[in-house]
Structure 1
Amino acid sequence: MTTATTLARIPRPVLVLPASLAALALLASGAACSGDAGGDGGGRLRTAGAGGIAGPAEPVATADSADADAVDTQDLPDALTGQSLDWSACHVLDSRQGDDETSPEPLPDDGDDNDGSANGDGNGNGSADRDDGGTPWECARLTVPLDYADPRGDTIEIALIRAPARERGEERVGSLLFNFGGPGGSGVAALPAFAGDYEELHEHYDLVSFDPRGVGASQGVVCLDDRELDAYFAADPVPATSAERAKLTDRLQGFADACSDRAGALLPHLTTANTARDMDLLRHVLGDDELHYFGVSYGTQLGGVYAHLFPQRVGRAVLDAVVDPTLTPEESARGQAAGFQQALAAYVEACAADDDTGDGNAGGGAGCPLGDTEKQANQRLNDLLDDLREDPMPTRDPDGRRLTRSLAVSGIAQALYSQDFWSFLTQGLDDALPAEGQDPDGTVLLALGDALNGRNPDGTYTTLQSSLTAISCADSRQRYDVADVRAALDSFRAASPVFGESLAWGMLNCAYWPVRGTDRQPPVAADGAPPILLVGTTGDPATPYAGTRRMREALGDDVGVVLTYEGEGHGAYTGGNACVRDTIDAYLVDGHVPRDGKVCDD
């Protein structure tokens, strides 16, 4: 596992072929928007007038604070608040967003009253021409200030995507803005990949998403080239000797230096608070009085920060797979270690049950590769990881890469995000732990690890992990050193014998970052906001359920309303539970706020 920060839930796979796994992960599918056909879509820094920002920032800069002296949306220059979005057909993905080589398929219409000729005004009050093929995806770019304390200075462009609502007039509620997590996930890539799960919402909302600042086609952070990233992610993150610790810190220092050299002027401004301000400017430009919002995983933190900054502009908001806003990075990482260990135990139990019945979603039935108990699973996995540390496993990767300990841990963690990927985990472990006389094969686990790291099947990388580091380090002022990690190792091992050490050493990710964070955690107190629906899953590995209750407390009295899903997986709405889906739909479509504490079971 390369970070201790949560990622969005990955979509359900539809093919069993190992080569398809990375392409089916959340951030390796979808379609992209660019400013024009053939453009780079990069959202370059620019200034009103001539010129731009010269050179990287100083070696140590300070990130913009959530409560900094920022200019409110209504007081921004007319050139920003009065801009009109030029919605047009979407183009194929930029490799920084994902790997799909086609534009997104139109969302199918379902026999409604659409006459096939609705026209749009470019600001959410209509759509591009439709035909019998359904609702086409539209893309545009929003210009935002680089620094909200200096709104007449440099600007960047934010890549957008939308599918206009099927219903018009009174049946249309407005725009529903999505963030699927990360931080670092491309919403332009993710929304088309998930859109089939939001058919009911599409009846009444324009479905809208975006690449947040520093992500994908919105000035996405690129620190290393693709081959350098291959080496970076393959390197062992768990040092056993002083020499190995020196190699680890040198590697992290080199990564931070490369980010400073290539994106230094941008890094201080890649905070969650600034992304929330971008969202409010987008709300205004779309013509909505309130922001209707659906945030998943890190998107829940982003939604909480938006509510803190703009409580009177919150519309209907759903936060699914809720990040705990009270924890330090160390506490969050340790909680995530325990969460993944819990998910591993659930997988082993399901696999053993499948072995007994020959049916189930863990792919058992011919003998579970990790045994029948969590203790057996821990031992077999740690034996495998120790072997990979000394002798990386051959794969069928076209670039000749081998499965290392680091990539295997990433692959196992990726599969534990969703029950729908458990069968792939079984397949990957069967290949890596074959019967006597058969050669081990790390191809499936490598493909899963690539998906977590944002590696496309063609060997290019999205900005997922670089953006994740940049945003996380700008948001938090906490910096850990080797002594801090060594002091915490026993508690991490107790939380998870399999994932604990990797997540503990991940605490160093911001140690050498060239930007000082300014907040302990981004604030989310939102006194005066309307009810916000918080959806927590009891078996969530990445955002443990306790965070849902703590977010409710942090938002303030009478703001958070908790919906509990007693099940497995990271994110409840797309998990297939009818109770969860119907409750959220009723809230978003009809404004029906459920009883605080409502429970849906698996």
Structure 2
Amino acid sequence: MQRFVRSAAMAAAGVLLAGVAVGCGGSPDDDKHDGKSGGSEDKGAGEGRAAQKLDWHGCKAPEGGTAPGAAWQCATLQVPLDHAKPDGETIGIALIRARSTGKGDRIGSLLFNFGGPGGSGVSGLPSFADMYGTLRERYDLVSFDPRGVGASEGVRCRDDKATQAAEEKVDLTPDTSAEEKAYFKDAADFGAGCARGAKKLIGHVSTVEAARDMDLMRQALGDDKLHYMGISYGTELGGTYAHLFPERVGRLAMDAVSDPSADSVGHAENQARGFQRALDNYFTAQGENPKAGAKRIEKLLARLDREPMRTSGDRKLTESLASTGVLVTLYSKQTWPALTGALRDAEKGDGTALLRLADAYNERDPSGRYSTQSHSQRAISCLDAKDRSTPREAEKRLARFRGISPVFGEFLAWDTAGWCYDWPVAGLHDSPDVRAPGSAPILVLGNTGDPATPYEGARKMADELGEGVGVHMTWKGEGHGAYGNGSECVDDAVDAYLLHGRAPKDGKVCAS
């Protein structure tokens, strides 16, 4: 099903680690552009609740992983299951931190969300900490598993065996009535599994509730203001926080920015455009005409649609898995060589490399165990997004989406209906409200080659945050995200903002 947005933080050697759907945040009582403005009128998370004292201790190994080491501490924050009932049932939010190195005057804690939705910050932050060494000189680096994710009451919707069976048998671009029936049955079954697994939590994993949780984190960490870096979906979460608590925003940076003006169909169109643009850039860099390159991939996918391809193991490469394998390499220019090799092998009849790339994106390990990131992602985004498109509405979008992206358009068009088909709870909003009058300046960083959160969304985020709040900055680069991606200009500007409070001039452009 839908992959949408993943984290901007990436590992080397072609394996992406963090978490693709942009959700559309909201709360039942605060529709976008309804005249409400958050801020002092919103009593906020935990009003009347004393700040908790966190019990920091050594971190245990996450499921299927290894412990992060002695530099890292973990704790659990108790938050209301339902923020409308602050004294009611609570759930635990898993936190992780590395203390400031003390090389400069400590500012406070810098909270990270790496995207998804559904990405684990507890697993992610130690993996990417080297990127943030300069920031650690004056901040404690802190991240968390949002509600419904990982160690924070993580949602599980189906087991590994059923997940693999769906990957092998469900065609994400159905061509026949039988394939379409199987596609939507699988979608409904997945939602029903989420409802059984999450129980009451299925209606309480929204972006707004996660933002309220962050305000409780701010209090528990002892900070008067929230200092935050949001990447990918994390920009939507940060914008939602700024809308709810503008007077509590400290230094807040956004990278790989989600378009807050788009509904779920608009996000799918944006991504069709962004991934096709990135693929065109890849082919141009290889010295190949982009239209001819796209035709090569279309031909390969059509071949796989007729008959899955052998691999070195006992699994086969399907059309859907091949699309995922191509898509994952577009998140970073570093992984373009992996795409070149995988396409060459597949055109010769060996799907092994593309399958491995798809497995990296789907977070499947060699033993056949899958992470639950995609389960949490879907639960969060389908609670956020109000749209419930029908199969016929998706079918009517096919021609338009194919025109935007001949490689990814059909998949994303069907996904507008399949992702939240027959979901067990209603969605909350068409798009998130990120207006933040009275907030301190917020840095909004867009990358012209970003495939998953196309560049245009950064300008829209800066505009919607409000005049004097959103500070727009551009990097002319490739990949999902800009900070830590090889541009000294970008890194220096972000560090100056987060470490010294010096926001760049609105409209600043980094060409390298």
Aligned to 2:55: 86
What does the per-residue CA deviation read over 1:392-428, in whole Å, with 9 as the maximum and x for residues that have no partner?
Answer: 112234xx22111111111111110110111111121
Matches of residues 76-155 of structure 1 in structure 2 within 5 Å?
A: 76-78=48-50, 81=51, 83-95=52-64, 100=65, 102-105=66-69, 136-155=71-90
1:93 Cα shift?
Answer: 2.0
Aligned to 1:241: 176
SS of the residue 1:573 aligns to: coil
Match status 1:570 vs 2:504: no
Matches of residues 520-559 of structure 1 in structure 2 within 5 Å?
A: 520-559=430-469
1:327 Cα shift?
Answer: 0.7
Letter in 1 for 2:58: A
1:4 Cα shift?
Answer: 5.4
1:449 Cα shift?
Answer: 1.0
Aligned to 1:9: 8
Match status 1:67 vs 2:30: yes
Change in Cα spacing, 1:291 to 1:487, as seen in structure 2 (3 Å) is same
Aligned to 1:460: 369
Aligned to 1:479: 388
Query: Does the 8 Å contact 2:45/2:83 carry over to 1?
Result: no
Q: Distance in 1 between matches of 2:204 and 2:337?
A: 41
Query: Does the 8 Å contact 1:140/1:159 carry over to 2?
Result: yes
Query: Does the 8 Å contact 1:64/1:518 carry over to 2?
Result: yes
| Matching residue within 372, 377, 392 for 2:293 | 377
1:591 Cα shift?
Answer: 0.7
The more displaced of 297-306 and 243-252 is 243-252
Letter in 2 for 1:346: N
Structure ID, larger Rg:
1
Letter in 2 for 1:73: A
Match status 1:261 vs 2:196: yes
The more displaced of 373-382 and 318-327 is 373-382
SS of the residue 2:10 aligns to: coil
Query: Does the 8 Å contact 2:9/2:114 carry over to 1?
Result: no
Q: Distance in 2 between matches of 1:221 and 1:453?
A: 16
Matches of residues 360-439 of structure 1 in structure 2 within 5 Å?
A: 372-397=288-313, 400-434=314-348
Letter in 1 for 2:203: P
Query: Does the 8 Å contact 1:71/1:151 carry over to 2?
Result: no
Query: Does the 8 Å contact 1:9/1:26 carry over to 2?
Result: no
Change in Cα spacing, 1:396 to 1:217, as seen in structure 2 (3 Å) is farther
Query: Does the 8 Å contact 1:418/1:569 carry over to 2?
Result: yes
Identity level (%) = 48
Aligned to 2:164: 230
1:9 Cα shift?
Answer: 2.3
Q: Distance in 1 between matches of 2:409 and 2:179?
A: 18
1:236 Cα shift?
Answer: 1.1
Aligned to 2:267: 332
Q: Distance in 1 between matches of 2:12 and 2:347?
A: 23
Match status 1:187 vs 2:129: no
Q: Distance in 2 between matches of 1:143 and 1:76?
A: 15
What does the per-residue CA deviation read over 1:162-211, in whole Å, with 9 as the maximum and x for residues that have no partner?
Answer: 1100117x711110000000001111111111111111001110000001
Query: Does the 8 Å contact 2:364/2:370 carry over to 1?
Result: yes
Query: Does the 8 Å contact 2:253/2:442 carry over to 1?
Result: yes
Change in Cα spacing, 1:206 to 1:238, as seen in structure 2 (3 Å) is same
Query: Does the 8 Å contact 1:165/1:204 carry over to 2?
Result: yes
Match status 1:207 vs 2:146: no
1:451 Cα shift?
Answer: 2.1
Q: Distance in 2 between matches of 1:574 and 1:504?
A: 33
Change in Cα spacing, 1:70 to 1:583, as seen in structure 2 (3 Å) is closer
Letter in 2 for 1:77: R
What does the per-residue CA deviation read over 1:21-64, in whole Å, with 9 as the maximum and x for residues that have no partner?
Answer: 5xx42239xxxxxxxxxxxxxxxxxxxxxxxxxxxxxxxxxx95
Structure 1's unaligned 5+ residue stretches are 15-20, 29-62, 107-135, 353-371, 435-439
Q: Distance in 2 between matches of 1:579 and 1:66?
A: 42
Q: Distance in 2 between matches of 1:70 and 1:341?
A: 41
SS of the residue 1:91 aligns to: coil
Q: Distance in 1 between matches of 2:378 and 2:358?
A: 17
Aligned to 2:37: none
Structure 2's unaligned 5+ residue stretches are 20-25, 32-40
Q: Distance in 2 between matches of 1:373 and 1:228?
A: 40
1:105 Cα shift?
Answer: 4.4
Q: Distance in 2 between matches of 1:376 and 1:105?
A: 48
* TM-score normalised by the chain length of structure 2: 0.93
Letter in 1 for 2:87: R
* TM-score normalised by the chain length of structure 1: 0.80
1:142 Cα shift?
Answer: 0.8
1:457 Cα shift?
Answer: 3.1
Aligned to 2:35: none
Aligned to 1:290: 225
SS of the residue 2:237 aligns to: helix
What does the per-residue CA deviation read over 1:494-516, in whole Å, with 9 as the maximum and x for residues that have no partner?
Answer: 01000000011111211211110
Aligned to 2:18: 27
Query: Does the 8 Å contact 1:70/1:149 carry over to 2?
Result: no
Query: Does the 8 Å contact 1:4/1:332 carry over to 2?
Result: no
Letter in 1 for 2:10: P
Query: Does the 8 Å contact 1:4/1:507 carry over to 2?
Result: no
1:456 Cα shift?
Answer: 2.7
| Matching residue within 354, 373, 377 for 1:445 | 354
The more displaced of 309-318 and 376-385 is 376-385
SS of the residue 2:286 aligns to: helix
What does the per-residue CA deviation read over 1:76-127, in whole Å, with 9 as the maximum and x for residues that have no partner?
Answer: 434xx3x2211111121224xxxx3x32246xxxxxxxxxxxxxxxxxxxxx
Letter in 1 for 2:325: G
Q: Distance in 2 between matches of 1:465 and 1:152?
A: 31
Query: Does the 8 Å contact 1:493/1:500 carry over to 2?
Result: yes
Query: Does the 8 Å contact 1:66/1:523 carry over to 2?
Result: no
Letter in 2 for 1:140: A
Number of equivalent positions: 495
Query: Does the 8 Å contact 2:16/2:328 carry over to 1?
Result: no
Aligned to 2:23: none
1:287 Cα shift?
Answer: 0.3
Alignment RMSD (CA, Å): 1.7
SS of the residue 1:292 aligns to: strand
SS of the residue 2:137 aligns to: helix
Q: Distance in 2 between matches of 1:4 and 1:189?
A: 20
Matches of residues 311-322 of structure 1 in structure 2 within 5 Å?
A: 311-322=246-257
Query: Does the 8 Å contact 1:538/1:545 carry over to 2?
Result: yes
